[in-house]
């Protein structure tokens, strides 16, 4: 095979890969921007904010201080609000009624048992009912916030992938151009 033919083939394949990577980079960049903008706008619409320092749970206060008094607008903030703020309140509420941290399903089962069994302790049944509602709402909000965190994370990953595609595309573009320039210096009769 002639060297010039080989150089042309490699150079054009490199230019094709450059175009492909640049197109993928653009699509990934669009996806990253879409995910991040959607997460931010949806969280802003919810108007959820961390309390000031005094209102933060003592167990997770050190981890939440960076967000004190701020509105939840990013996936990372949504995760921290869910896992370090709501979760702590849910555990505290359950401990106050049940004597230990308990899940929605555990509280609901005990409440349903008390209702079906005709419990004589109306005050305890009322507390279980309130706790059941609290845990249900807390789990629902946590689920929504953790979904925002997941999409925000996907947006960040897509952003990094876009950068990698742009860098790779630029590298292949430069190598393809260098290959085409090299063809001019290759003798006609050179072979591989």
For residue 27, pLDDT beyond 80: yes
> 155 exposed, middle or buried (CB, 10 Å; 0-12, 13-18, 19+)?
buried
> 178 exposed, middle or buried (CB, 10 Å; 0-12, 13-18, 19+)?
exposed
Q: How many helices (H) and strands (E) does the chain have?
A: 6, 0
At 155, the pLDDT band (50, 70, 90 cuts) reads very high
**For residues 38-47, average pLDDT:** 96
In this prediction, what percent of the chain has a pLDDT beyond 70?
100
Residue 190's pLDDT is what? 84
Q: Tens of pLDDT along 68-90?
A: 999 999 999 999 999 999 999 99
Q: CB count, 10 Å around CB of 177?
A: 14
For residue 165, pLDDT beyond 90: yes
At 186, the pLDDT band (50, 70, 90 cuts) reads confident
Do 41 and 155 touch, CB atoms closer than 8 A?
no
Residue 117's pLDDT is what? 83
Tokens of 70: 């701020």
Structure-token match 């049944």, residue found: 125
Q: Tens of pLDDT along 105-141?
A: 999 999 999 888 887 888 999 999 999 999 999 999 9
For residue 148, pLDDT beyond 90: yes
Residue 188's pLDDT is what? 86
Cα 72 from Cα 54, distance rounded (Å): 18
Q: Tens of pLDDT along 90-109?
A: 999 999 999 999 999 999 99
């Amino acid at each position: 095979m002639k060297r010039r033919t080989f150089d042309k083939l490699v150079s054009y394949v490199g230019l094709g890969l450059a175009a492909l990577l640049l197109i993928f980079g653009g699509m990934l960049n669009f996806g990253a921007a879409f995910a991040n903008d959607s997460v931010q706008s949806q969280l802003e619409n919810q108007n959820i904010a961390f309390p000031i320092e005094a209102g933060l749970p003592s167990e997770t206060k050190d981890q939440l201080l960076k967000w004190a008094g701020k509105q939840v607008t990013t996936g990372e903030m949504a995760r921290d609000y869910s896992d370090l703020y709501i979760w702590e309140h849910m555990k505290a509420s359950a401990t106050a009624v049940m004597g230990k941290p308990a899940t929605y399903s555990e509280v609901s089962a005990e409440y349903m048992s008390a209702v079906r069994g005709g419990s004589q302790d109306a005050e305890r049944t009322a507390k279980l009912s309130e706790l059941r509602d609290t845990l249900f709402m807390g789990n629902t909000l946590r689920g929504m916030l953790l979904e925002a965190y997941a999409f925000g994370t996907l947006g960040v990953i897509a952003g990094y992938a876009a950068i990698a595609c742009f860098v790779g595309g630029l590298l292949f573009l430069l190598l393809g151009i260098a290959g085409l320039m090299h063809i001019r210096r290759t003798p006609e009769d050179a072979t591989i």
